[in-house]
Amino acid sequence: MAIILASQSPRRKELLSMVVSEFETRPADIDETVKEGIAPLDYVLEMAQEKAACIAKNHPDDLVIGSDTTVVVDGMILGKPVDEADAKAMLTRLSGTTHHVHTAVCMMKGSKTKSEIITTEVTFFELTENEIEEYVASGDPMDKAGAYGIQGPGTLFVKAIQGDFYGVVGFPIAYVKRMLSEF
């Protein structure tokens, strides 16, 4: 049995390598458009499940891991920014607020499926326009939900965190390790 990470995320790949020594990565090509009216927890779980299912259909004897992360502020899902203006708008919205980061993990092997959603509360300092401009100009927020990465320069915006740090990074490895033991 092989372990396959249904992701192209370098962060997820690096974090999974802390739990298992050998695995493959195969990006799942799915539509990640947020459907009108979908609840944030339903959305993130659906994305993780779709990623796993996309790869698992061609690898029924292997263990496939799908994961997705979303940032939610005031009930609104913040995905990856589409451009610099979108990144600036997201960071402005997060400035001085507390938001939730939901990461879903779905594991599939044959007919067995196990899913978990890990939620972490993150509070940002008030950000200056200059801080936002400089961070967006760095390019770092462009491939990250909510337009920031807690594991890089975006950590300077974080006033407090309550929950799983690696859940905010996008792959809660302690939960993943425990889930793997069920397979």
Active site residues: 68
CB atoms within 10 A of CB 77: 17
Token pair of 119, please? 């939620």
Q: Sort residue 130 into left (φ over 0), alpha (ψ -120 to 50) or beta.
A: alpha
Nearest to 111 by CA among 65, 67, 63, 66: 63
Residue 72's nearest CA partner among 97, 108, 96, 54 is 97
